[in-house]
Amino acid sequence: MKNVYRAGRGRLGPVVAAAALAVGTVAVGAVSAGPAAASPGYDCPGGVFCGWDGSGGTGSMIVQVDSNCVLHDIGNGGVGDRLTSYWNRTGQTVGVYNWTGERWQLLASIPDSARGNLSSWADNKADAVKVCD
């Protein structure tokens, strides 16, 4: 998944600006006549657990793990304390954990097929996910 960045806009001459406006108007009319676009977020293949740093399955995907029954330490992978939303498609329950400095603290137990946002007290605290918890 990629984030899209737009470069800054330069100055256009009056003729070029008018042409760009006309093309933009036509393009907007064509888009509004078509079917509604799918809502963004929650792009996750089957059989895995996906997690994002934005709400509603948006932002950067920071974790995607298969259904093997292991603890995936995402903190050591450089993406700890960033998990906000998830979609569990593993066929198993997934535990989301925080490392307290002494032990793994369970933040959430996510059943198969569940997707959503972590609760506010668990948001941006996850350091690991464990499939088949």
Q: Are 91 and 112 in contact (CB under 8 A)?
A: yes
Decide: helix, strand or coil at residue 124. coil
- The tens place of each residue's pLDDT in the chain, 133 residues long, gives 433 333 333 333 434 334 433 433 333 333 334 444 445 799 999 999 999 999 999 999 999 999 888 999 999 999 999 999 999 999 999 999 999 999 999 999 999 999 999 999 999 999 999 998 6
Q: State the sign of the Cα–Cα–Cα–Cα dihedral 118, 122, 123, 125.
A: negative
Decide: helix, strand or coil at residue 133. coil
| pLDDT one-digit tens code per residue, 51-60 | 999 999 999 9
CA atoms within 13 Å, Cβ hemisphere of 31: 7
Task: Report the predicted TM-score, pTM, of the whole model to 2 decimal places.
Answer: 0.70
φ/ψ bin of 91: left (φ > 0), alpha (ψ from -120 to 50), beta (otherwise): left
Domain residue extents for the chain: 49-131
Domain 49-131: homologous superfamily in CATH: Crystallins (2.60.20.10)
